[in-house]
Amino acid sequence: MSILNLFSLFDGLRRPASNREEGYQRLHPKDNFYQSTSFFPMPFAMITTVNENGFTSIGPHSLTFPFDLIEEPSMMLISRAGSNTSQNLKRGSKAALHFIEFRKDWLKPIVNLGYPGIEPEEKMKDIPFAMGKTPSPEYADDPEFPLIMKDAFQIYECEINGEFKWQPPRETDPIASENFWCLRVKNVLLKDTYHKRLVEQKEFPNIPISYGFRHNDSGARRFFFCSHNKPFPVPIPTPKGLEHNQIYYSANKMDPEVRFDEEACKLLVDVPKTFLKVALKGIIAEAKKSDVKMVDAEFMKAFNERRKAR
């Protein structure tokens, strides 16, 4: 039995499977539809920002997503307009997005930090998290950069993209609706042991997952969380027919000034066909910057090292 079939077997024993023949309830999406009318598991970030008094506060946010992935790495943040996080970002605070591992005793303090209407100084009184200055020299003494959570295994250090604006028409009072923020990721801080895990891809952090706010007919108001199973790899097959000679043919048609040798093309066989043209354009642009006329294996290896270091 394969490892994937084994996982499927135990997963089926742990929870009931969906019945293909069973009908569906049709629900009308309403406020916070992803929580009120559906199951939508989410990782979350603990976001620190600075208020007008220079005080750092933490706001837990589930609605943080990778946004611009290639040229200006950024995160989309959706936050209530009246939240401390949104108010601090409006006045120019920078932000740090923290990712922590699952600890059950941390969950209640996290929920308390997300409760609206309480001043940051009051919310932060009894937190179990250690705070400190960032190790990044450009932000360590910046009054608009918040303290970081020393318990986080990973931190995105961000600045606001002031050009990003998306303001859909609203009937709701603006202070009760959402703000949409584009946060440019300037640095990713990863603790040493976790960086080793990232490189080796053998062990992943156990990140808490949120199913969000729920309430029921009895009046109970709760947030639901869970941990997750150990991640396991699923191999990606190499598409049939994507051989280095085909890449050689395509690459050498793209630009008359830059040529590719066969050894360089052999290093590109794992690039999905969908992304091959974009990848080749990037390599050609880099070759022209370096005044390279022939892209060989040595140039490709150096190009990949530079790309990883960015």
Q: Which residue has the higher pLDDT, 94 or 119?
A: 94
The yes-or-no verdict on residue 106 having pLDDT over 90 is yes
Helices (H), the chain: 3-14, 33-36, 84-90, 104-113, 120-123, 192-200, 244-254, 262-266, 273-289, 297-309
50-77 pLDDT, tens digit per residue, is 999 999 999 999 999 999 987 889 999 9
How far apart, in whole angstroms, are the C-alpha atoms of residue 310 and residue 153? 20
CA contacts within 13 A on the Cβ side of 202 = 4
The yes-or-no verdict on residue 5 having pLDDT over 60 is no
Q: Give the CATH number for residue 128.
A: 2.30.110.10
Q: What is the pLDDT of residue 17?
A: 66
Q: Tell me the longest C-alpha to C-alpha distance in the chain.
A: 73
Q: Can you read off the two tokens belonging to residue 103?
A: 């600890």
| pLDDT tier at 12, thresholds 50, 70, 90 | low
Domain count, the chain: 2
Co-location of 120 and 208 in the same domain: yes
Co-location of 143 and 262 in the same domain: no
Q: Which residues contact 187 (CB under 8 A, 6 or more apart)?
A: 136, 155, 156, 157
Q: Is residue 94 part of a domain?
A: yes
Q: Where in the sequence is the domain holding 283, given as residue range(s)?
A: 244-309
Q: Is residue 235 part of a domain?
A: no
Q: Is residue 214 part of a domain?
A: yes
| pLDDT tier at 164, thresholds 50, 70, 90 | confident
How far apart, in whole angstroms, are the C-alpha atoms of residue 229 and residue 248? 42
Q: Is residue 4 part of a domain?
A: no
Co-location of 107 and 153 in the same domain: yes
241-297 pLDDT, tens digit per residue, is 568 888 998 899 999 999 999 999 999 988 888 888 999 999 999 999 999 999 999
Phi-psi label, residue 201: left if phi above 0, alpha if psi -120 to 50, beta otherwise: left
The yes-or-no verdict on residue 154 having pLDDT over 70 is yes
| pLDDT tier at 202, thresholds 50, 70, 90 | confident
| pLDDT tier at 310, thresholds 50, 70, 90 | low
